[in-house]
Structure 1
C-alpha cells in the first residue's frame, strides 16, 4: 500500500480490489501525482503575468472544473453503489466516465502550459487515447445487447415451437 501526501492530505493508493469496495483506478494515481505538479507549473508560469490563468484561459478553466466535478460525481456513484450495481454496462459506463473526465482534466490543465498552436495536438493525443477505452465500452455494450437479443429470440423460438407442437398434436379418440 502506498500513500501520497498532497497538500497535507494523505491519499491512499491501495490497488487491491475487495468485494465490498469499488475497484481502484490508475487514473486516481495519475491525478494525485500530475495535477499538483501541473498546477505548480501553471502558478510559476503566471506568477509574473498581469493576468491570472482564469482571465487568460477562461474556457479551459471551465472545462477543467466541469470535468473534475463530473469525475468526482461518477467516482462517488461508483464507490457508493458498486457492491449492489446490477448492471455490468452501468459499471462500464461509470468506469469510462471516470477515465474520460479525469484524463480530459489532465489534458486541459496541461494545455495551459503549452503555446496556443500546440493545444489541438494535446487534445488530439487525449482523444486518441480515449478512443481505445470507448472502443472497449462499445464492445461490451454490443455484447450485452447481443446476449439480450439472443435470449429474447430463444424465448420466442421456444414459444413458437411449443405452440406448434400443441397445435399439431394428433387427437386421440376417447
Structure 2
C-alpha cells in the first residue's frame, strides 16, 4: 500500500511540476525526492527478509531528517545574514552620522593663491 501511495504521490508531483512550472521549484523538488525515495524504500522492503524489512525505511527516515536539518540550517543562515546586514547598516549609519558631526566642527578649508 505504501508503494502504491508513494507512486501516486510521485506522479501527482510530476504532473503538478509540468502543469505549473513557475510555482516554487523547491517544494516540487522536495515532493519528488520524498515520494520517490519512499517508493524505493517500500519496494526494497519487499525484497528484504522479514527481519531486515525495516532497514530501507530507516535509511529513508535518516535521509528525510538530513533534508529537514538542511532546511533548518538554510533558514538559520538566512536569519544570520539578515541580522549581520542589519547590524552593519546600523554601524554604517552611526559611522556616517559621527563623521558628519565631527566634520561640522572643523574649520572650513581655505585656499591660498
Fold match (TM-score > 0.5)? yes
Quote the offset at 1:118 in angstroms.
2.2
Q: Is the 8 A contact 2:2 2:39 kept in 1?
A: no
| In 2: Cα distance, 1:158 partner to 1:107 partner | 53
Aligned: 1:156 with 2:90: yes
Q: Report the TM-score, using the length of structure 2 for normalisation.
A: 0.56
| Alignment correspondent of 1:29 | none
> By percentage of residues, which structure has more strand?
1
| Alignment correspondent of 1:166 | 100
> By percentage of residues, which structure has more helix?
2
Closer/same/farther in 2, CA of residues 75 and 143 from structure 1, 3 Å limit: farther
| In 2: Cα distance, 1:75 partner to 1:147 partner | 36
Closer/same/farther in 2, CA of residues 94 and 147 from structure 1, 3 Å limit: farther
Closer/same/farther in 2, CA of residues 148 and 103 from structure 1, 3 Å limit: same
| Alignment correspondent of 2:21 | 80
- Structure having the higher Rg: 2
| Alignment correspondent of 2:5 | 65
| Alignment correspondent of 1:32 | none
Structure 1 spans left out of the alignment, 5+ residues: 1-60, 86-90
| Alignment correspondent of 2:111 | none
Deviation per CA, 1:16-43, whole angstroms, max 9, x where unpaired? xxxxxxxxxxxxxxxxxxxxxxxxxxxx
| Alignment correspondent of 1:106 | 40
Aligned: 1:147 with 2:81: yes
| In 1: Cα distance, 2:33 partner to 2:41 partner | 12
Quote the offset at 1:80 in angstroms.
0.8
| Alignment correspondent of 2:110 | none
